[in-house]
Structure 1
Amino acid sequence: MDVTLRQLSVFVAIADHEGFGAAAAALGMSQSSVSHSLASLERAVRGELVRRDAPVRPTQLGDVLLPHARATLAAARAFGAAASARHHTGAEGAVTLAVPPTAAHGLLPRLMRRWREHIPQVEVRIFEGFAEEITQWLESGMVDAAIVIDPDPVPRGAVPVATDALEAVLRGDHPLAGEDSIGPADLLDDPLLSTTSGAEGQIRALHALAGVPYRPTQRIRELTTLLSMVEAGLGVAVVPSLAGSMLPGDLTLVPLLPRLERRLFLTGPTTRPWHPNVTAIRDVCERTGPEA
C-alpha cells in the first residue's frame, strides 16, 4: 500500500479542523491539494475516510484508521528529531504536551519557566484536556508527552513533577474558612459540589478513608464552573491544592484530613519510542526535582 506522510498529515488535519479549508490553512496548502491528497489516500485504503458535509467527520473506517495515522506521524516526528540530534548539540524543535486543568493552571507555568531556562531551543506546545482524554491522546500520537496523575503502574521513564493534596474550597465567610484543617464530616451540612475533571476518584477515596458517605448534590465537569458555584454560595467543594491558583479572591482552601495526596508525573508514550525533546524536558525535571 503506497501511503505517504503528507497524505496522513492531510487526513489528521481534516479530522482535527473538521473541514478541508481549515485543514488547508493549518497545513499551508491549497484546498485543492488537500482534497487531492485525501482522495489519493482513500484510493489506497479502498474506502472513504471522512464524510463531506459540514462539519467534516471521520467515517467508520476513518475512526479506525485515525489513531494509526496519528501514531505514524508521531513516530515520524520522533524519527526526524532523533536523526537531527546527531548533527546538533542540544535539543531543539517543538514537542506537544497534554496536561490536566489543575496542572495547567497551578504547575505548568513553573515547568515552562524551567524548560525555557535550561533548553530554550525546545518549544513546548500545550494541549489541555481531562485525564481520560490525555491517555488516549498520548498513545494515539496526538501529543508527544503528558502530565498524568497517579498512574498505576508508573510508566517506564516517567518522572515525578509535583505532589498535591485534596483541600476544601470555601467562601471566605464560611464558618470553617479560618480553620487549620477540617475533615469531610465537617462539610456534611453543606451541599457538596463535585468535579468530574479527573479528581473525583480521589475525592471518593478521601470520603471512604474518613468513613463519610460521598453524596454530591452536583457533579460538574469544568473546574471554573465549580468554583463559580462555590463563589455564588451554592455549596462547598473538594479540589486538588494545585487549583489554588484558579481561586477568586473571596474563596479559600482549607486542608482536609485525612490527607490524601496525588502524584503528578511527566511521561512519554508507552507503545512507541519517546520523541527526543520529551526526553530532554523529562531530564530537566529530573535534575531540578518535583514541585512541592
Structure 2
Amino acid sequence: MSILKLKAYIAAVQFGSLTKAAEALDYTQPSISHMIHSLEDDYGFSLLTRSKSGVTPTDNGLELLPIMQDIVQRYEHLSEAVCAIHGLDVGAIRIGAYTSICVHWMPYLLKEFHKSYPKIDIHLFEGNSDEIHAWLEEGHIDFAISTIQRPEEFHFLPLMEDRMMAILPENHTLAENHAFAIEQFAEEPCIIPYEDTHKDVQRIFKQANVKPNIAYQIRGDEAIIAMVKQGLGISLLSELLIQDHADDMISLPLEPNHVRTLGITSKDDLKSLSPASKKFIPFMQEWLKKQKNAY
C-alpha cells in the first residue's frame, strides 16, 4: 500500500480539486491524478466523481476516507516515533485555535518552541467553535486549543481559566462600578457575538437565565470591541480577547463570576497523539506557567 496514494486521495477530497491537492502536496496535477487512478485500480472501484467544477468522493470513497486518514496519521506517528528513538525531534503538528489564542499566545509560544524543536513543523488553523469541531471530526487537525463544548465527543485537557468580562464605553453610566451584574445585559443595548463564534457567551446567558437586549449581533471580535468604543452598546468577551484594549474602554468582571476554561481538545485520547504533539503540549503547559508567574 502506498501512503502517497492515500495522501493524494485525502487531499483531493479535502480541496475538491486535483490541482489544489497537487499544490498542497507539491506534486503535479497529472501525478496526483495518476496516483488516485492507481488506487482505484487497486480497489476495483471508483473513489472520485470528476466534473468540470472539481472532484467529490463517491459513496465507496466516502466510506473509506476515515480509514485512510487513520492509516496516514498512524504512519506519520510511526515515522516520528522511529526518529525519536534515534534522538531526532521531527514531525508536523496541525493545531486549530480560536482567534484570541492565535493572536495572544501562538506567536510567542511558537517562537520559543522552534528554538527547542526546529525540525518540528507547526501548521496553525484559526477558526471558531463550529469550524474547530468540524476539523477535529474530519481529521484535518491533530488537536485544538479551545474551550470544551461537547465533552461526550471529545477529550479535553484543561490549561487555564479565562475570566469573562463585561466591556463598556468609557463614558458609560456604570463605568465606575467594581463589577457588572449579569442581569444588566437584559436592560442595556448589547453587541453580542453569534453562537458559532463564541458559544461560551451564549452558555453564560443561558445558565444565568438572562435574555440579552441585542442591538447588534456580529462575528468578529475586533468589530465588537470597536462598536463598544463608539458607544453603540456593551458586550461580553473574555479577558484574553480584550487585554490589548484596556486603555480606551472599560472592562468589569461579572457578578457572579464566570470563566471559560481553555484547554487541549482532541478527538482521540491524548495518549494516542503523535510524538511531536506530545512534545508540544507539555512545552505549552510550561510556557503558560511562566506567563502566569510573570504577572
Task: State the TM-score, normalizing by the size of structure 2.
Answer: 0.81
Query: Which residue number corresponds to residue 232 of structure 2?
Result: 234
How many residues end up aligned between the 2 structures? Answer: 288
Return the offset for 1:143.
Answer: 1.4
Match status 1:206 vs 2:204: yes
Rounded Cα–Cα distance in structure 2 between residues aligned with 1:220 and 1:240: 16
- Contact in 2 for aligned 1:105/1:242 (Cα 8 Å): no
How much is the aligned-residue C-alpha RMSD, in angstroms? 3.2
SS of the residue aligned with 1:256? strand
Rounded Cα–Cα distance in structure 1 between residues aligned with 2:276 and 2:31: 31
For residue 266 of structure 1, the aligned residue among 250, 264, 267 is: 264
- Contact in 2 for aligned 1:220/1:226 (Cα 8 Å): yes
Rounded Cα–Cα distance in structure 2 between residues aligned with 1:38 and 1:207: 50
- Contact in 1 for aligned 2:190/2:213 (Cα 8 Å): yes
Gaps of 5+ in 2: none
Q: Return closer, same or farther for 1:68/1:50 CA change in 2, 3 Å cut-off.
A: farther
Match status 1:22 vs 2:10: no
Rounded Cα–Cα distance in structure 1 between residues aligned with 2:215 and 2:54: 36
Query: Which residue number corresponds to residue 221 of structure 1?
Result: 219
Return the offset for 1:97.
Answer: 0.9
* Paired-residue identity, %: 24
Query: Which residue number corresponds to residue 80 of structure 2?
Result: 81
Give the structure, 1 or 2, with the largest relative contact order (CA under 8 Å, sep 6 or more).
1
Return the offset for 1:206.
Answer: 3.1
SS of the residue aligned with 1:16? helix
Match status 1:5 vs 2:3: yes
Rounded Cα–Cα distance in structure 2 between residues aligned with 1:140 and 1:154: 13
Q: Which moved more, 1:247-256 or 1:278-287?
A: 247-256
For residue 255 of structure 2, the aligned residue among 254, 257, 262 is: 257
- Contact in 2 for aligned 1:73/1:141 (Cα 8 Å): no
- Contact in 2 for aligned 1:71/1:142 (Cα 8 Å): no
For residue 193 of structure 1, the aligned residue among 191, 194, 213 is: 191
Q: Deviations over 1:181-223 (max 9, x none)?
A: 2122334343222223657543344335555334534443333
Rounded Cα–Cα distance in structure 2 between residues aligned with 1:57 and 1:227: 40
Q: Return closer, same or farther for 1:175/1:145 CA change in 2, 3 Å cut-off.
A: same
Q: Return closer, same or farther for 1:45/1:193 CA change in 2, 3 Å cut-off.
A: farther
Q: Deviations over 1:46-71 (max 9, x none)?
A: 13424423254444544444333333
Return the offset for 1:126.
Answer: 0.5
Rounded Cα–Cα distance in structure 1 between residues aligned with 2:112 and 2:33: 42
Query: Which residue number corresponds to residue 65 of structure 2?
Result: 66
